[in-house]
Structure 1
Amino acid sequence: MTGLRLMCVHAHPDDESSKGAATMAKYVDAGAEVLVVSCTGGERGDVLNPNLKDDPRILRDLAQVRRDEMAAARDILGVQHHWLGFVDSGLPEGDPLPPLPPGCFALEPLEAPVEALVREIRRFRPHVITTYDENGGYPHPDHIRTHEVTIPAFDAAGDPAAYPHAGAPWQPLKLYYNGGFSKERIQTFHEALVAEGLESPYADWLDKWDRPSRTVTTRVRCADWFERRDAALIAHATQIDPDGWFFKVPREMQQRVWPFDEYEAAASYVPVAEGEDDLFAGLGSLAEADALALDPPPLALDRRVARVVP
């Protein structure tokens, strides 16, 4: 897989370390090039680590702190990184929900971030792109907007008539949605903790679960890279409580009962085999994948659907 290229499009710094980080580290070590695109700077994020709530530097300049955290996580994972340059929308709370702040990512006219992402796709020339499903993985406005930007950018990047000033056309060959915390994964962790007499933080979560399950097409085995994933997460110190629920499952247990990252193939110019275990599967060598991207066949799979607004 030397030289094959993966682009992972995320909403905020820290999202890359909680969604597919072990897969990224595995591919970097195997010789692939991996680029994380952060659509926003996370400027409106809350400080979720109780140990840092009153830190004066963080209170003074959260935006720069989050940029520094992203740089540290980037170096731990060995990936490349690009800021798309839009402003965090924040997570509105309350009933009714307050309006989103003017000028934020979720309110940007779609054309601007799509063009920015097309430009970066044509520069980096990824063979595979990962992002969020039509619901954003969870309903944060920036996660939903990231999906809304990535889908048309995936299509437009290979179209010579689209954004002709934004670089030479390049068609990414596969598009995946990150699997995240599925009910099956949480159930597996809960049962493993209970079986060993350990306290599980997931019982209430499971009792209240009301989301339908997604289709998992691809499981990338990456247990040997969980330590790097965890180190990258902890690098986002403002966003991760080191004593929080994410770290309640011992790493050895995770490696034993859930040794993979999950993905959902959304669109592909090559067939996606049942039981797929590699995001680059079906692309062949670097030269073969490059040739396909420059002269793609018809789509072999397209499972993309529009978001249903409640």
Structure 2
Amino acid sequence: MLSQEQDSTPYYPEQGDTVREDAVFSLLPEGLDVHEARVLFVHAHPDDESTSTGATMGFLADSGAQVDLVTMTRGELGEVIPSELKYLEVGQQQCTDGGQALGEYRSGELREAIQSLGVHEHLFLGEGVSAGKDTPSVFYDSGMVWGANGRPEANPQASSGCLTKTSLDVQVQALMRVIKHYRPHVVVTYDAGGGYGHPDHVRTHEVSLEAVKNLEDTPDAPCLLWGLEGDYSSEDNRIQAVIEGSLVRKREAMAAHRTQVIITAEDSYQFSNLVTQKISARETYRLVWSASTVELSSSS
């Protein structure tokens, strides 16, 4: 039995709920023309790009920036919402492939979503320019379970080939190859808490930060690394960036992920747990890392 202090309802932070007085309204470094800007987003699963940063990605693409995306896994362990597709879900009697078919299906959903977001190029970690001799071609979804306090916990049945159980260094080297290829001015991922705390989100933050730090003081280094803000804290004095993007673009991209997302109204949605969340056109970030000579732009 849960204590009165515990609430087992899955918890998600509200995006853009609080804006600091000293917030900036751009992710770009000072003096960079948006039409010359290259921004690389790094996400854990298909649908994260749309639900977490879709308004920002659409806004940047509309403004003329090159928006690229790396997705770490194919989301093989996601729960499936449509009843006619339940056979794809791991744990269902009909599913005998460990989620491979679901990963392929969700990859198709992602291809549709990124068209709505204006993404220039996309790849999964382990393929294309990220591939290496010792790099797996696929990093599998680690999955998660909800704890008694409504917060994510590690999946006890995660496979040895999943993102959180394979080599951090191998993943860092793979992402470094991506950064060297695309030469982004800005990299955007999750903050250290992984947004709402999914273990793969946390690992994605760790990989992104290490990759950027390893490239520091080289010609391939980006200027800035931003982390998607989770719970707002008044004690967090890092620079906050606020992006007011396109609700329409974000909602269209989210709707493409039909195995994962239910659009319940123009500005609300649910995952399979049916916890209603706001579709927010305002997305906020915290500065995780910056090159020593870079100044921030305050313009929108």
Q: Structure 2 length as normaliser, TM-score?
A: 0.68
Identify the match of residue 145 of structure 1 among 203, 206, 209: 203
Gaps (5+ residues) in structure 1?
A: 161-168, 184-210, 279-310
Q: CA deviation digits over 1:159-180, x for unaligned, max 9?
A: 66xxxxxxxx501000111125
- Contact 2:55–2:281, Cα closer than 8 Å, also in 1: no
Q: Which residue number corresponds to residue 221 of structure 1?
A: 244
Matches of 1:15 and 1:248, distance apart in 2: 14
- Give how far 1:246 is off: 6.5
Deviation at 1:3, TM superposition (A): 2.4
Q: Is the 8 A contact 1:221 1:277 kept in 2?
A: no
C-alpha contact (below 8 Å) 1:131/1:177 kept by paired residues: yes
Moved more, 87-96 or 38-47: 87-96
Query: Is 1:38–1:82's contact at 8 Å kept on the other side of the alignment?
Result: yes
- Corresponding residue of 1:72: 112
| Identity rate, percent | 35
- Please give the TM-score of this superposition, normalised by the length of structure 1: 0.66
Contact 1:12 1:39 in 2 (8 A): yes
Counterpart-to-counterpart distance in 1, 2:285 and 2:269: 23
The structure-2 alpha-carbon separation of the partners of 1:106 and 1:220, relative to structure 1 and needing over 3 Å to count, comes to: same
| Matching residue of 2:85 | 55
Deviations 1:70-98 (A, max 9, x none): 00001111102111131111113578962
Work out whether residues 9 and 150 of structure 1, in 8 Å CA contact, stay in contact via their aligned partners in 2: yes
Structure 1 213/132 Cα, relative in aligned 2: closer, same or farther at 3 Å? farther
Aligned to 2:226: 176
Q: Does 1:241 align with 2:271?
A: no
For residues 253 and 78 of structure 2, the distance between their equivalents in structure 1, rounded to whole angstroms, comes to 18
- Alpha-carbon spacing, 1:93–1:154, altered in 2? closer, same or farther (3 Å): same
The one-letter code of the counterpart of 1:231 is E
Secondary structure (helix, strand or coil) at the match of 1:41 reads coil
Which protein has the larger Cα radius of gyration, Structure 1 or Structure 2?
A: 1
2:295 matched to 1:271? Answer: yes
- Rounded Cα–Cα distance in structure 2 between residues aligned with 1:132 and 1:143: 7
Tell me: CA distance 1:68–1:30, structure 2 relative to 1, closer, same or farther (3 Å): same
1:91 paired with 2:144, answer: yes
More helix as a share of residues: 1
Corresponding pairs, count: 229
Q: Which residue of 1 is the match for residue 45 of structure 2?
A: 12
Shift of 1:245: 11
Q: Which deviations, in whole Å up to 9, do the C-alpha atoms of 1:272-297 show, x marking residues without a partner?
A: 46xx355xxxxxxxxxxxxxxxxxxx
**How far apart, CA to CA, are the structure 1 residues paired with 2:204 and 2:265?**
26
User: Unaligned regions of 5+ residues in structure 2, if any?
Assistant: 1-33, 90-94, 96-100, 127-138, 271-277
**Secondary structure in structure 1 of the residue aligned to 2:50:** helix
